[in-house]
């Protein structure tokens, strides 16, 4: 009857809330983006609840009446039946808050469409963007969160918007693209002048927060570009 949306650590396993642990221990089923990643968390806290995968490719009912992606709706229907039978499910992703650049949104939308009586309860916790902003030293009363920059289409348009933004902009970036994204952002004169924060591997062993202009930060990242990154570009 209840689908809990549970935030999990973005690196340090101790960053899980007491409530999240209580919920994960008490539900009938945990849906995880990657069961191997979540298994480590569950083993660490000795949680022995059935675990199943639910990720961005798991088919859910589409607007046209079929299913999204490839495959059938067996899993979606089973999730729905479990909830309709009065059982409780927790949805987690590999790291951070479900639905934020992670699976969650579509599943919730479809469940509410078909079974509006389902309770959807968020269990708040870590999120990489908010964690980076909290230590940024940038006024974050208002900010623009844009997730991952697109790889091709719309990339330049987005960068232009960032260059003109009245608000600090927060981006996510991966090991493979961090250098390219920073180099391309450095091509904008408006961005070159600004204060930038690049937060790498937050809460993990090699956590590093780089602060400065983009040209000050670039050579440092070039030396060590492994990891997960949040980029914050101050407002103009």
Point out which residues bind ligand SAM (CB under 6 A).
Answer: 10-11, 93, 95-97, 100-102, 127-129, 172-174, 199, 201-204, 228-230
Closer CB to ligand SAM, 127 or 165, in the complex: 127
Q: How far is the CB of 149 from ligand SAM (least distance, A)?
A: 11
Nearest residue to ligand SAM by CB is 96
Q: How far is the CB of 1 from ligand SAM (least distance, A)?
A: 25
- Which helix (H) or strand (E) element contains residue 181? helix 178-185
Closer CB to ligand SAM, 29 or 98, in the complex: 98
Q: How far is the CB of 199 from ligand SAM (least distance, A)?
A: 5
Tell me if residue 47 falls in helix, strand or coil: coil
- Work out whether the CA dihedral 120, 95, 233, 175 comes out positive or negative: negative
Q: How far is the CB of 171 from ligand SAM (least distance, A)?
A: 8
Q: How far is the CB of 150 from ligand SAM (least distance, A)?
A: 14
Closer CB to ligand SAM, 74 or 175, in the complex: 175
Rounded CA-CA distance 130/77 in Å is 34
Closer CB to ligand SAM, 66 or 147, in the complex: 147
Tell me if residue 42 falls in helix, strand or coil: helix
Closer CB to ligand SAM, 156 or 203, in the complex: 203
Closer CB to ligand SAM, 8 or 82, in the complex: 8
Spatial strand order in the sheet of 196-200: 144-147, 169-173, 229-233, 196-200, 208-212
Rounded CA-CA distance 5/190 in Å is 39
Rounded CA-CA distance 79/92 in Å is 14
Place of tokens 């949104």: 105
Closer CB to ligand SAM, 125 or 188, in the complex: 125
Q: How far is the CB of 141 from ligand SAM (least distance, A)?
A: 20
Q: How far is the CB of 96 from ligand SAM (least distance, A)?
A: 2
Nearest C-alpha neighbor of 52 from the set 74, 70, 73, 75: 75
In this structure, are residues 23 and 4 in contact, taking their beta carbons and an 8 Å threshold?
yes
Nearest C-alpha neighbor of 10 from the set 207, 186, 177: 207
**DSSP 8-state class, residue 204:** S
């Amino acid at each position: 009857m209840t689908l809990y949306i549970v935030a999990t650590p973005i690196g340090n396993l101790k960053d899980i809330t007491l409530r999240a642990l209580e919920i994960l221990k008490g539900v009938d089923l945990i849906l995880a983006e990657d069961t191997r990643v979540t298994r480590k968390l569950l083993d660490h806290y000795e949680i022995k609840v059935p675990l199943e995968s639910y990720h961005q490719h798991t088919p859910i009912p589409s607007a046209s009446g079929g299913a999204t992606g490839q495959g059938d709706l067996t899993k979606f229907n089973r999730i729905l039946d479990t909830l309709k039978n009065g059982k409780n499910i927790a949805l987690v992703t590999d790291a951070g808050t479900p639905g934020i650049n992670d699976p969650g949104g579509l599943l919730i939308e479809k469940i509410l469409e078909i079974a509006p009586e389902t309770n959807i309860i968020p269990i708040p916790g870590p999120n990489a963007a908010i964690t980076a902003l909290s230590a940024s030293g940038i006024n974050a009363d208002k900010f623009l969160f844009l997730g991952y920059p697109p790889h091709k289409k719309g990339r330049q348009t987005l960068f232009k918007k960032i260059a003109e933004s009245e608000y600090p902009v927060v981006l996510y970036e991966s090991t493979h693209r961090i250098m390219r994204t920073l180099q391309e952002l450095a091509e904008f004169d408006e961005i070159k002048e600004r204060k930038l924060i690049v937060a790498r591997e937050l809460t993990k062993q090699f956590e590093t927060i780089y602060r400065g202009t983009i040209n000050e930060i670039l050579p440092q990242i070039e030396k060590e570009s492994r990891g997960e990154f949040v980029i914050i570009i101050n407002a103009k």
